[in-house]
Structure 1
Amino acid sequence: MLVEIAKTSSVPSADRITDEESAALARAVVNLFARWNLSDGEAREILGGLPARTYARWKAGEIGRIDRDLATRLSLLMGIHKGLRIMFTEPERGYRWIKAPNTVFGGKTPAEIMAAGDIFSLARVRDYLDAERGGW
């Protein structure tokens, strides 16, 4: 006998990411960039051209308002970090991978790809890691 499965809502239970969640993501990404050994300039480009003063405030723990684009970038960066932690049992190998030339990226490093500034470049690195680890 067939039993109908209750429909689930396609609308998220939370309207949007909270300011507290955004601030936590920003703090985590600042720490992640330090582990990836990125310069402030590289970090700011990856974050979509974040002004130097704003990034300096982030590094000092003063996180302001984060818009949807920036929240999406932060989410993609945390997904990249997660993918690397799954792929590499030694965290340091994952951190070094970001600055290592990769034939998949035409000999460029993942950091160079992400620093192109557009959100699609972040998604490209994230998608590559998801595919490599079988996370489709």
Structure 2
Amino acid sequence: MHVTEAPIVPPTRRDLAGPALKAFFNIAERWQLTADQERRLLGNPGRSTYFRWKRDRAGAVTGDVLERISYLLGIYKALHILFPDDAQADAWVRRPNTAPPFGGAPALERMLGGHVADLYVVREYLDAQRGWN
């Protein structure tokens, strides 16, 4: 008897949207972000779209939104690896930081710059601190 394996189908944006939004809003709560900060991190979606995502933890999202959330998940994970205390890890984004990418400002300020590259810089910095670069 010959068994045929089902082909592996990669998840679609639609498949990833709900889990990504749920994770994002959980992180936003831990970081005590305002609605305006959350919208900026998500790339400034329309207010009605943002509030629908926040209420439902689901909805259609763009590739840009998924990329942003992916960087934020990486930042969150790296912080919780670097700092064993959850409160310390979550507070890091708000503490002034003299490292070159931040110039004395908190990492959150850099992350709120509006560009995906701002999230990338923070993620790369934390990966380097973990020894992943």
- Structure 2: which amino acid aligns with 1:134? G
- Structure 2: which amino acid aligns with 1:93? Q
TM (normalized to structure 2)? 0.86
- Number of residues of Structure 1 aligned to a counterpart in Structure 2: 124
- Structure 1: which amino acid aligns with 2:37? E
Matched, 1:93 2:92: no
Superposition misfits of 4+ residues, deviation over 6 angstroms: none
Could you tell me how far 1:62 is from its partner in structure 2?
A: 4.6
Determine the C-alpha separation between the residues in 2 that align with 1:38 and 1:52: 16
5+ residue gaps, structure 2: 1-7
- Structure 2: which amino acid aligns with 1:38? L
5+ residue gaps, structure 1: 1-12
Determine the C-alpha separation between the residues in 1 that align with 2:61 and 2:50: 12
Q: What is the correspondence of 1:1-136 to structure 2 with a 5 Å cutoff?
A: 14-15=9-10, 17-104=12-99, 105-136=102-133
**Structure 1 residues 36-80: Cα deviation after superposition (integer angstroms, max 9, x where no partner):** 011110111111112222221122125211111111111111000
Determine the C-alpha separation between the residues in 2 that align with 1:82 and 1:42: 20
TM (normalized to structure 1)? 0.84
* Preserved CA contact (<8 Å) 1:19 1:66: yes
